[in-house]
Structure 1
Amino acid sequence: MAKAKATIQKLRVGAAGPGAVVPRPGSRAERREGIGNYFPLVRETETTSCADRDWSVHLLSTSSGATAISTLRQQVEIQFISPGDDVSMELRHLRHFVALAEEGSFTQAAARELIVQSGLSSSVRALEKEVGAELFVRGSRPVRLTAEGQALLPVARHTLESAAAARQAVQDVRGLLSGHLRIGTYPVNPNFLPLPTWLAGFARAHPALEITVRQTGGPAMTQMVADGRLDCALLDPLDTSLSGLQVLPMVSERLMAAVPAGHPLAGTKSVTLRRLAREPFVETDPTWTTRHRTDRAFAAAGLTRRIACEVADWRLLLDLVRAGLGIALAPPSQVGATDEEPGQKLRLVPLAGAEIERELALVLPAGLAASPAARRIASYLCARTRESVAEA
């Protein structure tokens, strides 16, 4: 395809069909004012088919303001061209650049992209040659972006997202969901939410979709969704009014006092925070959202408590309570079904005069800022949650 002055516009494939020319208003004045999204030339080619014949989509909005969608054989070619720019850049270079920026390690980025480290290094050098600047500080550990790399990162993410949206528009004609879904979560007990089963069902329903699951803390995942490193995340949102993000509640449960079976509180029907504050606590990691909620509850009651130890694993926390190191506030879903049977070593006691709830919600970009895959899994998880509530 000849290189021309142009900017990417929204791909429209539907009733008009392949070969249509879709008018769109545009002018030189608009471009002078910076209206529209401009990208360096990016070319990616793959084979697809529609209605038993191969065809290609050329996405090109020229200075005349028309988006041309042409029909050819055996390839799909998408071009993003900035005004007057004749520099060719491959999508894989941008993918490798984003992976290295996010992972901070050549080893981890190469593993994520399923290539050898030398291939990743060559790809990054090729991109730096194209843009005419070094994008990473050489010799730093972890790998750090230069000022030029920091400027490129959000644009690179946007370009990759636009390419994925264009590809998905073509796949929509065939009724397929494809691309890459990056979902974050902290470890979720299946008793609370059967995430593994639901994710497996979603993957079977969309075999062309690559799904990556990343585990980390709730506050970190919120930021990763906000800056585009994750498409969505299952977490306990401490703040439900997140700017630019949509929060879809899934499930919740009240925390209860977990005490050893021989503890004086084990036989009580309920217990107050003031009474619990006299006991040593086995607590979760300070970065956990459950810990934030517990700390807030004691602070709101004007109480302090002695923390005997902090751990980042619910199983270890409950084992330490069973052993008598202290008590804890824990979600019932983390406690085994046999724990409260006679002869066992742990008891759960409801709180009196206070309610501390652990919530689980899906957080994703609001509106059309969310990827097609994120919107699809949001609908899927909400539907499964409603079914579970109805069956309970």
Structure 2
Amino acid sequence: MKLQQLRYIVEVVNHNLNVSSTAEGLYTSQPGISKRVRMLEDELGVQIFARSGKHLTRVTSAGQEIIRIAREVLSKVDAIKAVAGEHTYPDKGSLYVATTHTQARYALPEIIKSFIDRYPRVSLHMHQGSPSQIAEAVSKGLADFAIATEALHLYDDLVMLPCYHWNRAIVVLPHHPLASKTQITIEELASYPLVTYTFGFTGRSELDIAFNHAGLKPRIIFTATDADVIKTYVRMGLGIGVIANMAVSAESDHDLVKINADILFPQSTTKIGFRRSTFLRSYMYDFLQRFAPHLTREVVDMAVSRRSNEEIESIFQKIKLPVK
């Protein structure tokens, strides 16, 4: 059994059992991957993948356990490399952050800039996607940190650290009937067409819960993953926008009227997550604290030592998170 074989089977799963795509991603040949996967199966005496002709169709029950352990082994190998790098080149390395558009556009720019200024030899990469895609990327080892509001709870193998609370805002055109109001009711909001986030993005579930509790059904006529896209369609008169408060700027959105929606919807909490097996480099601790000042090395290490995310939550009960 070789590490290369373990990497191959993990990457095959990461590429949805498409061996051709896996070969392209690993810059190797498709027959080479197929041959080494077969050799590993022969050595273990079990099938990792079920097949139909030359095509892989699913991961077998034995294969699921093997893949899970293979991920852990490869994660430990990466951790060994990280330990070596920490001692030889403490300010050199890479950092992969997976997040949503709202975080990338409104919460991270100044943090990214200050981080790059401090660590010019760290290669920083940002991947945007849906919250479930983000959490999955970190769970599979394709990213170091996941920053999102939704979906991180779906992955028990992630350490999830609460960073800040945030509220929603309603944006309308200046001539809209609601533009003169400082507060509106959920009933008023339900009477107008809404433009908001796609389900599963940026705290959208809290919006749906609020309407359900009021026994109302929102008239959602357009959804998008990007707050800037939502504001564009509000400007076109398509409907009222319901977006994160941080996504409304007095400078760039001076043609829109913002109405705070604090009393309509509960606060959402943005969290940052990483695999329990991750060896945190010094610059990674620094990134965590830049993003959320209360995430000191001591607090992060304390959270990592806890067995579950429920126990981690208890650490933050006495910490007052900022509100954005």
Relative to the length of structure 1, the TM-score reads: 0.62
Look up the match of 1:121: 34
1:91 matched to which residue of 2? 3
**One-letter code of the match for 2:287?**
Y
Alignment partner, residue 348 of structure 1: 258
Q: State how far apart, in whole Å, the 1-side matches of 2:20 and 2:96 are.
A: 20
Paired with 1:142 and 1:281, the residues of 2 have a C-alpha distance of 44
Q: How many Å separate the matches in 1 of 2:82 and 2:49? A: 31
Partner of residue 191, structure 1 = 106
Q: Which residue identity does 1:166 align to in structure 2?
A: I
Q: Counterpart of 2:60 in structure 1: which amino acid?
A: T
State the partner residue of 1:100: 12
Measured in 2, the distance between the counterparts of 1:204 and 1:247 equals 27
1:204 alignment counterpart:
120
Shift of 1:215: 3.3
Secondary structure, counterpart of 1:204 in structure 2: coil
- Percent identical residues: 24
Q: C-alpha offsets along residues 267-295 of structure 1, whole Å, 9 cap, x if unaligned?
A: 22222222111111123212224211211
Aligned residue for 2:299?
none
In 1, the alpha carbon distance for the partners of 2:118 and 2:50 equals 40
Taking the aligned partners of 2:42 and 2:190, their CA distance within structure 1 comes to 62
Report the counterpart of residue 145 of structure 1 in structure 2: 59
Secondary structure of the 1:364 match is strand
Secondary structure of the equivalent of 1:110?
helix
Note if 1:300 corresponds to 2:210: no
SS at match of 2:215: coil
| Greater relative contact order (CA < 8 Å, ≥ 6 in sequence) | 2
- The amino acid of 1:349's aligned partner reads I
**Contact 1:285 1:310 (8 Å CA) reproduced:** yes
**Structure 1 residue 255 corresponds to structure 2 residue 168:** yes
Q: Is the 8 A contact 1:362 1:378 kept in 2?
A: no
Write the distance in 1 (CA, Å) between the matches of 2:191 and 2:44.
62
Q: How many residues align?
A: 293
Q: SS of the residue aligned with 1:316?
A: helix
**Deviation readout 1:135-193 (Å, 9 max, x if unpaired):** 22335878532333223101111221222333344444435488875543222343322
What CA distance in whole angstroms lies between the structure 2 residues aligned with 1:328 and 1:151? 45
Contact 2:10 2:70 in 1 (8 A): yes
The aligned counterpart of 2:77 is: 163
Q: Does 1:382 align with 2:256?
A: no
Q: Aligned residue for 2:298?
A: none
Q: How far 1:265 sits from its partner (Å)?
A: 1.0
Aligned pairs (5 A) from 1:1-392 = 89-104=1-16, 105-139=18-52, 144-174=58-88, 176=90, 183-187=97-101, 188-194=103-109, 196-197=112-113, 200=116, 204-206=120-122, 213-222=126-135, 225=138, 230-237=143-150, 245-335=158-248, 337-341=250-254, 344=255, 346-351=256-261, 353-365=263-275, 369-373=276-280, 377-386=284-293
TM-score for the superposition, normalised by structure 2:
0.73
Q: Deviations over 1:17-75 (max 9, x none)?
A: xxxxxxxxxxxxxxxxxxxxxxxxxxxxxxxxxxxxxxxxxxxxxxxxxxxxxxxxxxx
For 1:319, give the aligned amino acid: T
Partner Cα distance (1:185, 1:317) in 2: 18
Taking the aligned partners of 2:140 and 2:203, their CA distance within structure 1 comes to 24
Task: Report the Cα distance in structure 1 between the residues aligned to 2:217 and 2:153, rounded to whole angstroms.
Answer: 27
* 8 Å Cα contact 2:193-2:221 kept in structure 1: yes
Runs of 5+ consecutive residues of structure 2 not aligned to the other structure: 295-320
Equivalent position SS for 2:183: coil
Alignment partners' CA distance in 2, 1:178 and 1:147: 40
Task: Classify the secondary structure of the residue corresponding to 1:267.
Answer: coil
Larger displacement relative to structure 2 (277-286 or 302-311)? 302-311
Q: Is the 8 A contact 1:233 1:364 kept in 2?
A: yes
RMSD of aligned alpha carbons? 3.7
Q: In terms of Rg, which structure is larger?
A: 1
Label 1:374 to 1:247 Cα distance change in 2 as closer, same or farther (>3 A).
farther
